[in-house]
Amino acid sequence: MKKRILLMIPTPPPYMGPSVATLVILNSNLKENFHLILLDTADRRSLKTLGKFDFFNIFHFFKQFFLLLHKNLFFKIDLNYLLLTQTKIGILRDFIFFLLIKILHKKVIFHFRGSGIFDLYERSGKIIKFFIKKIFLSSDGIILLCKRLKDIAEEKFPEGKYFVLFNGMEIPQIKREDKKLKNILFLSNLKEEKGFYDVIKIIPDILREYRDVKFIFGGGKLFDEEKIRGILKKYEKNIEIHISPKGKEKENLFKRSQLFLLPSYNEGMPWAIIEALGYSLPVISTDVGCIPEMVLDSENGFLIKPGDKDGLKERILKFLRGDVNFRECGKISREIYEKKFNERVFIDGLKKIFEEVLNENTSFKL
């Protein structure tokens, strides 16, 4: 008889890392091995409402709490799979869910899809620190995005049980015949924390030397238009902005481009970089979160420090001048994708984690 796994995760929209992962999981062959039961946690409102303390989110919490209780009591759940957030309100909510599951003597693993939980722990008071520590030490497993984060977890909470699981998705290989680098793609939410303004600010310097280059932006519109109105107007022939592209539209942005940028200030393991690797693009990004395990500096792209606009500009110019072969870097990106970040690797890894936790005899820990 198949083991029952409750997936307490969001489906899209909005299209963010966790909801994209949900689609990969639900459409995979995991259902051949386990009976998957979905408890959808998605907030269908705009991205700006996520994590806010308002009436809707309070109602949403109580609804999820009672659904979690009901499904564990009446659906004979063998394992609960939840996402771990990195805000104080989110941790409070996650701890209450964790406490409920433990009181019911059920197994629970948390999948942490960011990189800021350890910074939150250091910044927080005794109560939030207690909640985080309990979750890490008393869960049946914590899934982290990369070895870098696992090393930190083992140092801070050495008695916990940790797994490393790279994100992964299916991206067909395309044949690239680009002879010249003309299109540079930035695809993420269009906001300051993702480095959007940093890219905008260096456009005049790049176009001063290479007038035929086009900067293509795709993502949720979370920027202040007044801040960039002058640059957009002056260089309108060299800038494209696509608001929240999906499906074929987003796929075509990757296919039309020869270089990918994501100079983000804070990341876990960005799906956009996984897509860039899958589409054989060299990547310029920052050395935050798990990105150094995705972008190998001077091999399939470059890593810079967050906010280093001069460094970003110089790395772009290396590709445009031909100092670095963008086609060869793109081939290495695809090799890295095949080895680490395709859907098969992700699903096989998740299956092994589920099996290990389900087959382990664990005592009640709280």
Is the model's pLDDT at 330 over the cut of 90?
Answer: yes
Strand order in the sheet with 34-40: 34-40, 3-9, 79-84, 107-112, 141-144, 162-164
| pLDDT tens-digit readout, 287-321 | 999 999 999 999 999 999 999 999 999 999 999 99
Among the listed residues 283, 233, 212, 229, the one whose alpha carbon sits nearest the alpha carbon of residue 254: 283
Q: Are residues 19 and 136 in the same domain?
A: yes
Residue 177 resides in a domain: no
Using a pLDDT cut of 90, give the percent of the chain over it: 88
Q: Are residues 251 and 327 in the same domain?
A: yes
- Quote the pLDDT of residue 340: 97
Q: Are residues 94 and 71 in the same domain?
A: yes
Residues 17-39: what's their mean pLDDT? Answer: 93
At 14, is the pLDDT very low, low, confident or very high (cuts 50, 70, 90)? confident
Residue 78 resides in a domain: yes
Q: Are residues 138 and 189 in the same domain?
A: no
**Global model pTM greater than 0.85:** yes
Residue 12 resides in a domain: yes
- Quote the pLDDT of residue 1: 87
| pLDDT tens-digit readout, 245-264 | 999 999 999 999 999 999 99
Give the Cα separation of 135 and 117 in Å (integer): 12
Q: Are residues 10 and 151 in the same domain?
A: yes
Residues 73-94: what's their mean pLDDT? Answer: 95
Q: State CA 138 to chain mean position distance.
A: 25
Q: Are residues 148 and 189 in the same domain?
A: no
Residue 74 resides in a domain: yes
Provide the number of structural domains found in the chain: 2
Give the Cα separation of 121 and 131 in Å (integer): 9
| pLDDT tens-digit readout, 268-287 | 999 999 999 999 999 999 99
Residues 106-110: what's their mean pLDDT? Answer: 98
Residue 365 resides in a domain: no
- Quote the pLDDT of residue 57: 82
Which residue segment(s) compose the domain that 304 sits in?
183-341
Residue 190 is classified by DSSP as B
Q: Are residues 118 and 204 in the same domain?
A: no
Residue 49 resides in a domain: yes
Is the model's pLDDT at 45 over the cut of 70?
Answer: no
Q: What is the DSSP string of 57-117?
A: HHHHHHHHHHHHHHHHHHS--SEEEEEE--SHHHHHHHHHHHHHHHHTT-EEEEEE-SS-H
pLDDT greater at residue 259 or residue 365: 259
At 43, is the pLDDT very low, low, confident or very high (cuts 50, 70, 90)? confident
Name residue, tokens 């914590």: 142
- Quote the pLDDT of residue 191: 96
Q: Are residues 105 and 204 in the same domain?
A: no
Is the model's pLDDT at 187 over the cut of 70?
Answer: yes
At 42, is the pLDDT very low, low, confident or very high (cuts 50, 70, 90)? confident
- Quote the pLDDT of residue 362: 63
Is the model's pLDDT at 135 over the cut of 70?
Answer: yes
Q: How far apart are the first and last CA of the chain?
A: 29
Residue 174 resides in a domain: no
Residue 47 resides in a domain: yes
At 51, is the pLDDT very low, low, confident or very high (cuts 50, 70, 90)? low
Q: Are residues 8 and 112 in the same domain?
A: yes
Q: Are residues 208 and 287 in the same domain?
A: yes
CATH number assigned to the domain comprising residue 83: 3.40.50.2000
Q: Are residues 241 and 302 in the same domain?
A: yes
At 53, is the pLDDT very low, low, confident or very high (cuts 50, 70, 90)? low
Is the model's pLDDT at 78 over the cut of 90?
Answer: yes
- Quote the pLDDT of residue 55: 79
Residues 212-233: what's their mean pLDDT? Answer: 94
Give the Cα separation of 201 and 316 in Å (integer): 13
Q: Are residues 26 and 119 in the same domain?
A: yes
